[in-house]
Chain A
């Protein structure tokens, strides 16, 4: 049992100059090697402490430690952490606790929430989505929380908890029965998308009669890939749309490029080759959109849910014509470009490679995954004006205690906080 922690009050960031000078005296290896910096938050309170990387115990110990630090003994809480992609993921057993600690990069950010009846779905960019929609205090909109608290005692209906969502069937209520719109959440998942497509001939029924037209089909699913593991896609399914854009008239190479370009958040509308497992749209739109129940035939061992219909799909049924605006409204935030500042880069002009390879060695992943994100850009709609984007940025900075830490900040905190 090597857990040790010293809670510290939150420290105001110092000026940039002092951070830079400090950083030059520091080797970046040390803090990665020995201790993990933890920043935990419960409601509006923050705590910072160090955690010995090679000596930590299990989930239960960590849970009690946090209860101690936040003085919330006896309060049942949920633990979540933010992974490097900005996804909010649960900590509820030894395994995902270890995963959380090992992926701290370099700060492990913990969010503690009171256990309530409402369900949380872990999905791509859930951190930002939640922040945007609900603020950071963990408060839920009154209406939804009251509904859920009423249901608290009863049987929980909804997507299973404590799972990371990897796929979903969406827009069931607006699509024809024979079509299926599937969202694959590649980002943050180590699994390959894992499927192949091919050219083929599709038979369409038109007012003039039956017509053969070229189409694109799934030709192969890779074993253990994301596509196969969802159970929602199968060989010989015809692909009709990619992220809301109709594929009519597009070549196989174009479709390939579109799918790869959207691979972090791929939404494909397919006409399943096997039409027996279709989900029949039942009831009214509204009840369907929020009920979260799954049609009987659709579940094949994976976490399924219905997202509420996206605006684009509502305005565009299956015949959607492609346009930039529609394409963009479908997308999730993908401005996850990693920007490295000069102070992260080696000042030594003669051996720039030496330094970055050192960083690589310390990290579990190769290449650019290992680099420390200095800032993760916020979503920006296409052609957003400068003023708009700057307000976005300032909002981002305003919540900087919670945003992905800059490397400078983390190093400073490292120096101040860790006690061994």
Chain B
């Protein structure tokens, strides 16, 4: 009993320590919200609100000021409105529910909270659902009333924040129709309420716009119609000018009208209907805004209105000021836009300063005060997915020198942006400065690598590297294809960076490894290309040396049916300042690179594909090792699986590309092309439905050496450890395959003085075939203290303790199914932890992290962090591989989210919660990057 008691004591001690080391928090979402559906703006708070189709609501102000809320209902947010001069906002969902949110201060920080919800029922007697379906919302400047226009044509008035229906104030359709002028086209049905506007100079007057076209000015005090504006085209939007003298209406046929309201005169005057892109039929103008300037003509801005036949598929906002007119051409659908104003205290009547446009895939902000209306770079909401993300790589604690050089390289690339500061400035960012400089590198389908500042709450773009210049592309893509030619009408200008169409999928980046100490970078791609790059502050013209590596090693009888290898340019190429390639290794067959590791101290890069792996010496530009891992009976690995899997995607991409070309050359045919997309989509959906119909069956079979892709290299690892005997440590390379095999090689690296000329060799030393044959996803050598070996050059830069070379080393082999520790150099099994056999989950992503105690500064320990296919994150202790914690993190259905996860060295992680957003989470009590901000209510 004594023993039991004691053990209990140590266990509870360990439990307490766990609480000090680990906690799971989802901290912040980076990137651009998936499927945004509504935009709102408060000029008094200087805050912007974005609602999404999944019911999320996100608020953004000054960089670092952000809030997130989620509606319980799984319904799209269709409209968002801030209550004027208040910290409340109202959302309308497509289930017709209204929600009131507020920014509440708590311990000096603001929180976004839902404080009320409301479903319009209408007075008794209204039974038809459509009668109370809200189509237009007006937040009255009094801050006490909501006007809700409905599908039935009624306007209901609700008192807020309590959501009390003021029945006596309702404006019923009957009241309106009874006084419609007789000459208004036979007094037909007015249809739903399309728009509601308040008179900026008289808050008692509101304009009600009906779908049919009729607009009515209603006096809220006297409860009567003052005026009727008999527009006859389907109404799209309404705008009451700031001086209260005019109402602009925009219509379904691409026209807009300006109705002058003269006081004392009963008859309003219609200026002639204006069709800005006229002659031929035009698409609707969805929204129109007119803003005065102090000393000149007003700004007129409207979305849509393009000639239906030739440019009906464009997403444009036209800005007209004086003689200047530009049709900003976006690459995705426009959700909404607003214009920020400046001037004293950001009063409503300040000068227009920036046009803020929310399109489906990005936020674009255009500086209206600088000549040429340049784009302002967004500090947040950056579309991560401007080309689809194919991989990511996180590097913690970047040395200042490298950081500054990367920023400098990025500045050169961003000269086209406006110099104006970010125009949305609400709230105060109270988060402490990030403790260190962190980089997140994302690889993209188009062959680019983007460098992001991931130190703080805003994931800010620093620099973009393009690898495409190394290769001669099939057809040189002209990026200015859709750029407006001189005198072209409409005067298009392409804006935004969302461009998901990769012209050569072989360029796609699959693996990235950056050495933060040396500034060497290696990236590997879809067509077996491995590029070695070095950071250079100057532009340089150089020839990139290509080296072909035959991974089949003479195995015969195979025919690669996948894509061909990329052609490396033979002539010198001018590379801008930044990371410049100096060598490219090309695997043969050109299969996708599945593993990559860089050792900048030894100047070696290891790479692997489904056929084998190799080690390349980038100093001598020579191959040190090639090993074929291919099972001779594995035909599938030979055929190039990508060519099959991607075929549907490819055909879709091609059809998109055709459309894009047709915009320029074959304008008349593009409608049929749009139909083609619809057909293709319908076909895809049908295929999907068919797959869902088939009964789900799973084969139960032991893995065998004859399974497909057993030779696929999953992980590569360099280590200085004891591989041949227990008294001499040597450089080594470890490789793990899909079939559960681990290969270990001893590397002979000449002493520094002969490093450039003496030959390097690699000797096979050990081979482990795991009996369970599950894919090996990670290999870590633990030193005599049980600590993971430091990174290359880490000890040389005095940033890590030297590894303990006296005690015995161990190697931890992580397969998808279990964790196993072997002694070195004997490789006898020391301990193991089974995962899949016990709970059916499999390791998907793994990393080593250091966890500091929240209680005391000087205690910390290393842990193995991993994510399973069930979406749970776990931490295992090292070196004892004991389960510490487990938290659900990602939905298990979210396969791409799970596949995208990366861990940082400080126990944080990132995963793609949608194609355009990273969710950031932390398992550490000490390292948390989360928004901390305060928004104060504006003074009355």
* A pairs with B: yes
B830 contacts partner chain A, Cβ-Cβ < 8 Å: yes
Asked if A245 and B838 make an inter-chain contact with CB atoms under 8 angstroms apart, the answer reads: yes
Residues of B within 8 A of A354 (CB): 553-554
Q: How far is the CB of B62 from chain A (nearest CB, A)?
A: 44
A261 to B701, CA, bound (A): 9
Query: In the bound complex, how far is the Cα of B288 from the Cα of A346, in angstroms?
Result: 76
Q: Judging by beta carbons under 8 Å apart, are A339 and B766 in contact?
A: yes
B698, A198: Cβ atoms closer than 8 Å: yes
Q: Are B703 and A260 in contact (CB under 8 A)?
A: yes
Interface residues in B768-805 by Cβ distance below 8 A to A read: 768-772, 774
What residues on B are CB-neighbors of A264 within 8 Å? Answer: 702, 771-772
B residues 694-743 touching A (CB-CB < 8 Å): 695-703, 705-706, 710, 724, 739, 741
User: What sequence of 0s and 1s flags, for each residue 610-635 of chain B, a beta carbon within 8 Å of any chain A beta carbon?
Assistant: 00000000000000011110011100
Would you call B695 and A219 a contact (CB within 8 A)?
A: yes
Q: Which residues of A contact B770 (CB under 8 A)?
A: 337
Asked if A340 contacts B700 (CB within 8 A), the reply is: no
Highest count of chain B CB atoms <10 Å: which of A219, A341, A342, A380: A342
CB contacts (< 8 Å) of B837 on chain A: these are 243, 258, 261-262, 327, 331
Chain A, range 54-113, C-beta contacts under 8 Å to B: none
Instruction: Identify the stretch in A146-154, A189-197, A297-305 within 8 Å (CB) of chain B at 4 or more residues.
Output: A189-197
**Could you tell me the distance between the alpha carbons of A233 and B10 in the complex, rounded to whole angstroms?**
46
Pairwise interchain contact B829-A252, C-beta atoms closer than 8 A: no
Contact (Cβ within 8 A) A349 B700: no
Q: Chain A's interface: helix, strand, loop or mixed, by majority?
A: mixed
Q: Is B478 an interface residue (CB 8 A)?
A: no
B197 interface residue, CB < 8 Å from A?
no
Q: Which residues of chain B from 856 to 901 have a CB within 8 Å of any chain A CB?
A: 869-870, 880-883, 892
Whole-angstrom distance between the alpha carbons of A84 and B634 in the complex?
24
Q: B833 in the interface, Cβ–Cβ < 8 Å?
A: yes
- CB-defined contacts of A143 to chain B, threshold 8 Å: none
Residues of B within 8 Å of A369, CB to CB, are 705
- B697 contacts which chain A residues (CB < 8 A)? 196-198, 219-220
Across-interface contacts of B769 in A (CB, < 8 A): 337-340, 368, 371
Stretch at the interface among B103-111, B301-309, B756-764, B927-935: B756-764
* Complex interface: chain B residues within 8 A of A252 (CB): 696, 698
Contact with A along B791-834 (1 / 0, CB 8 A): 00000000000000000000000000110100000011111111
Question: Most chain-B Cβ atoms within 10 A of its Cβ — which of A196, A255, A339, A369?
Answer: A339
A380 and B631 contacting across the interface, CB-CB below 8 Å: no
For the complex, give the distance between the alpha carbons of A349 and B842 in Å.
34
Q: Report the bound CA distance from A354 to B840 in whole Å.
A: 38
- The answer to whether B836 has its CB under 8 Å from any CB of chain A is yes
Q: What is the CB-to-nearest-CB distance from B95 to chain A, in angstroms, rounded to a whole number?
A: 29
Residue in chain B with minimal CB distance to A218: B700
Q: In the complex, what distance in Å separates the CA atom of A261 from the CA atom of B696? A: 20
Please tell me which stretch of A41-49, A287-295, A382-390 contacts chain B, meaning at least 4 of its Cβ atoms lie within 8 angstroms of it. A382-390
Answer yes or no: A393 CB below 8 A from chain B CBs. Answer: yes
Are B771 and A335 in touch, CB under 8 angstroms?
A: yes
Q: Are B764 and A352 in contact (CB under 8 A)?
A: yes
Residues of B within 8 A of A198 (CB): 695-698
With an 8 A cutoff between CB atoms, is B257 at the interface? no
Say how far A35's CB is from chain B's closest CB, in angstroms. 27
Q: Is the CB of B761 within 8 A of A349?
A: yes
Q: Which of B625, B628, B724, B766 contacts A349 (CB 8 A)?
A: B625
Chain B residues with CB below 8 A from A33, complex form: none
A202 CB–B CB distance under 8 Å: no
**Contact among B703, B829, B842, B869 with A377 in the assembled complex (CB-CB below 8 Å):** B829
Q: Which of A254, A260, A378 is within 8 Å of B839, CB to CB?
A: A254
A residues 324-345 touching B (CB-CB < 8 Å): 324, 327-328, 331, 334-342, 344-345
Q: Report whether B706 and A346 are in contact in the complex, using a CB–CB cutoff of 8 Å.
A: no
A351 sits at the interface (CB 8 A): yes
Q: How long is the Cα–Cα vector from A366 to B554 in the complex, in angstroms?
A: 18
Inter-subunit contact A263/B701 (CB<8 Å) = yes
Question: Judging by beta carbons under 8 Å apart, are A197 and B700 in contact?
Answer: yes
B841 within 8 A of partner (CB):
yes
- Cβ distance B858 to chain A, nearest Cβ, rounded Å: 28
Inter-chain contact B774/A340, CB cutoff 8 Å: no
Q: Chain A residues near B698 (CB, 8 Å)? A: 196-198, 252-253, 255-256
Closest A residue to B882 by beta carbon equals A383
The answer to whether B768 touches A339, judged by C-beta atoms less than 8 angstroms apart, is: yes
Decide: A251 and B892 in contact? CB cutoff 8 A.
yes
Report how far A112 CA is from B553 CA in the complex, Å.
47
Mark out the residues of chain B between 660 and 698 whose CB falls within 8 Å of any chain A CB in the assembled complex.
695-698
Q: Is B767 an interface residue (CB 8 A)?
A: yes
Complex interface: chain B residues within 8 A of A384 (CB)? 830-831
B703 touches A263 (CB 8 A): yes
Contact yes or no, A257 B836, CB < 8 A: yes
Inter-chain contact total with CB atoms closer than 8 Å:
196
Which one of A264, A367, A377, A382 has the greatest number of beta carbons of chain B within 10 Å?
Answer: A367
Neighbouring A residues of B696 by C-beta, 8 Å: 198-199, 252
A318 within 8 Å of B (CB atoms): no
Known contacts A377-B829, A384-B831; is-contact A256 B700 (Cβ 8 Å):
yes
Judge if A23 is at the interface, Cβ distance under 8 Å.
Answer: no
Contacts of B883 in A (CB 8 A): 324
Could you tell me if B632 and A366 are in contact, using CB atoms closer than 8 angstroms? yes
Is there an interface contact between A346 and B764, defined as CB atoms closer than 8 Å?
yes
Any B CB within 8 A of the CB of A353: yes
State the CA gap A14–B700 with chains docked (Å): 46
Q: Digit string of A359-370 for contact with B (CB within 8 Å is 1, else 0)?
A: 010000011110
Minimum CB–CB distance from B539 to chain A (whole Å) comes to 40
A357 located at the interface, meaning its Cβ lies under 8 Å from any Cβ of chain B in the complex: yes
Give the shortest distance, in Å, between B589 (CB) and chain A (any CB). 15
Across the interface, do A260 and B768 meet the contact criterion of CB distance under 8 Å?
no
A260 to B632 CA separation, bound complex (whole angstroms): 24
Q: Which of B626, B766, B831 lies in contact with A341, CB distance below 8 A?
A: B766
Q: Does A347 contact B (CB under 8 A)?
A: yes
Q: Is the CB of B842 within 8 A of A257?
A: yes
B75 on interface, CB distance cutoff 8 Å: no
**A375 is an interface residue with CB less than 8 A from chain B:** yes
Asked if A345 contacts B767 (CB within 8 A), the reply is yes
Asked if B131 CB lies within 8 Å of chain A CBs, one says: no
Distance to closest chain A CB from B885 (angstroms) = 15
- Determine if A375 and B828 form an interchain contact, defined as CB atoms under 8 angstroms apart: yes
In the bound assembly, the distance between CA atoms of A245 and B869 in angstroms comes to: 19
* A120 interface residue (CB < 8 Å to B): no
**How many Å from the CB of A364 to the closest CB on chain B?**
13
Interface residue? B765 (CB, 8 A) = yes
Cα of A287 to Cα of B847 in the assembled complex, Å: 52
Q: Name A250's contact: one of B555, B820, B829, B840 (CB within 8 Å).
A: B840
Known: A196-B699, A338-B769. A367 touches B763 (CB 8 A): no
Expressed in whole angstroms, the minimum distance between the Cβ of B620 and any Cβ of chain A is 15
Say if the beta carbon of A3 comes within 8 Å of chain B: no
In the complex, what's the smallest C-beta–C-beta distance from B192 to chain A, in angstroms? 45
Most chain B CB within 10 A, of A261, A323, A360, A366, is at A261
A382 lies within 8 A of B833 (CB): yes
Q: A334 contacts which of B625, B627, B771 (Cβ < 8 Å)?
A: B771
| Interchain Cβ contacts under 8 Å between A and B, 30 examples | A192-B701, A195-B699, A196-B698, A198-B695, A220-B697, A253-B840, A258-B840, A261-B837, A263-B700, A263-B702, A263-B703, A264-B702, A327-B837, A335-B829, A338-B769, A339-B766, A341-B766, A342-B724, A342-B764, A342-B766, A347-B763, A353-B554, A366-B705, A368-B741, A380-B832, A382-B833, A383-B880, A386-B830, A389-B829, A389-B831
Which A residues lie at the B interface, using CB under 8 A?
186, 192-199, 219-220, 227, 243, 245, 250-264, 322-324, 327-328, 331, 334-342, 344-347, 349, 351-354, 357, 360, 366-369, 371, 375, 377-378, 380, 382-384, 386, 389, 393
Interface residues of B (CB under 8 A from A): 553-555, 625-628, 631-633, 695-703, 705-706, 710, 724, 739, 741, 746, 761-772, 774, 817-818, 820, 827-834, 836-842, 869-870, 880-883, 892
3 cross-chain pairs, A with B, having the tightest CB-CB distances, nearest first: A254-B840, A367-B705, A263-B702
Known contacts A254-B841, A260-B702; 4 additional CB pairs below 8 A are A193-B701, A335-B832, A368-B739, A386-B830
